[in-house]
Structure 1
Amino acid sequence: MSQRATEQESEITYAQFKALANSIPNLAWMARPDGWIFWYNDRWYEYTGTTPEEMAGWGWQSVHHPDVLPKMLERWTHAIQHGEFFQMIFPLRGADGLYRPFLTRIEPLRENGAIVGWYGTNTDVTEQERDRERLQLLIHELNHRVKNTLATVHSIALHSLRELKQNSVELFENRLLALAAVHDVLTRENWTKARVDELVRTAIAPAGQENFDVSGASVDVCPRIAAALAMTLHELCTNAVRHGSLSAPNGRVAVEWSIDAKARTPKLHLVWRECGGPPIAPPSVKGFGMRLIEKTLASEAGARIAVEFPCEGFRCEMDIPLGVEVLK
């Protein structure tokens, strides 16, 4: 082959290489054995808004974040001295002045065992880093919720089974089912909120919704309040079936709620009112169910709980503080 043909082939090969390097979405570059960068693809200049003159040699340091640059230089210098592959995620400043994370991979180019150059790529991993941060946040949130759930289960088990009675296992199982039900409601809303009407209807379903008169405003509550409210409603329903109005053929329960938005802290005002049941009186000894009704929302949400035992039927009123962001 003639020298001219060889030169033409080399020119064509280089032209093809440039076309390939400029077509990829990554930033790409090449350096001498000592790390001096002598070539960048067009993507690099487009992203950084720089010129070849500004970037020649070690000029690339100007688009690196000053907080990360020392660590990056330490690792890059080590790779050059030992002829090792380099990989690291660090931010690069764009033409808009914003820093974005890039995965940088640098491979040594060898001929006969000796390093004759380096070629590197920088890949924008902004979305991947955001996904990783979101995943880490979800893991922490899941860990927190699992711990809270286990603490709730432990408390339910401790009090439900402290004094074994004929129905202790049934009570414990039903409380766990109620806890699982509110978790289902929250899962459908991605654990951001729960609708009060859905919590009420879920709690009263085992006792037959036809025995209830339900009415209230459209309002959402946060997961912490939702879990406490659901467990409280479950205990109210259980007590109504076992001892209250729903233990009689014609007994009924009215559940009503409204929002008091005029107070400094908006409140959910919920009333549970029973009628048509057998005569009732305040219990001489409060069981776990009644203690749960009086204390769960108070401790978890700072709610005010008032229970009464008038002759017409049991009555429970709740005033639950709400954040403005949960009002619908």
Structure 2
Amino acid sequence: MHASQYWQWTRPAELPQTFEEGSLDQWRDFADLLPSLCWIALSDGYIAWYNKRWHDYCGTTPEEMEGWGWQSVHDAEVLPQVMENWTASIATGEPFEMTFPLRGADGKYRPFLTRIVPVRNRQGTVVRWFGTNTEITDQKKAERALEVSEAKYAVLTNAMPQMVWTTRPDGFHDYYNAQWYRFTGMPKGSTDGEEWAAMFHPDDQARAWERWNRSLATGELYEVEYRLRRHDGAYRWVLGRALPARDEAGEIVRWIGTCTEIHEAKQHAEQGELLNRELSHRIKNIFAVIGGLLNLTARDKPELRPVMGELTGRIAALGRAHDFARPHSEISASSAHSGDLQGLIAEIMVPYQNAAGDRITLDGDHVDIDDKGATPMALVVHELATNAAKYGSLSVDAGRVDIVVRHEGEDVVVAWNETGGPAIATVPEHIGFGTQLADLSVNRQLGGELQRNWNPGGLGVTIRVRQAHLHRAQGRPA
């Protein structure tokens, strides 16, 4: 049946003649091609025409639907609200929009989004209503799935002992779990957006902002410690961490973060740092006392002064190694090389460097080290530097030492090369105590090997030890 036949079948004689019949026929033909259910009502709400898709879906005839017959395909529980809203639109001339179920020819109800707009004449009087019903079953399923997913997420995050939060890709905070509001005592939604920063201790805000902006710009892990204001006004130390969630294309779609209270652990760490510094100070004092005793002994026995001088230098090297390798916090760390073999060597070589900083060069790989490896390595480097200052390249102004630290598989290799010093004619026959001490430190204490090459242009030394023997890291040989 042609669309115009539907129209003629239900067109009352009193239908106002305000439309050109040809234009209306074209609209009806077009509406029959739309995937939505379409219809036309008179100004009083009397529906005079439906498109074919309406009858295909509902399984109805034009006679059944004429006028107010459409109510028969509505859910009886929802129909009163539909009638109330539709009557109000007819009375006011305002557009109508509502979602409700319609029964299909198979007897099943499916959700439809209904929109109705008035058509007015030149005087502004409503003369027609054009309506569409668009099935939104898939959208409703997606909404329900999202609601279920969000409900599960809320249950999961609220059950966690941590504060959990999420942001949009631009960093706008839009979700906090119950733990956040329980800890802060803030009303829900009051810390959305950038308001979260006001919860931080004023001294920590700039640092937290700087790291957060860096993570937003680079996509890297966000991790920072700061003091967060609790509901009672007290500031508590918290570890904040966040990772980006990415889509299949690698684009960041959300940031998911946590706040973990670490106040007690922070206090214990600070107390441990104070104790560690006190112990370190006392150990350094012991080194100083030993050095002082050696100097006093040397005064009474001039013949022992050379030996005492060497012992004093070695004890000083041990003191520097201890101070370098002991556990450090961010506050007590003396340099960027703390805990690094290069940093230890640089510390030992400070007295031998010139003002320009080019007499001794140090390069290579980063190698972790702690007190286990620092003590013997400090003694070895000290002995090499002392000998170079007495007999080798550091005994003349033009001499220099180049030191390279590198990884070779599971080994660490330290290459020491002297140049510009006195020429070496022959291999020394006498092996001094310092040489024996260096060999003992590498071979016995570190289980490595030390090789000397008495090149005419200067001494070359290669030290090779297992990387695992330089520290006490868990899972590595002690």
TM-score (norm: length of structure 1): 0.46
Larger Rg: 2
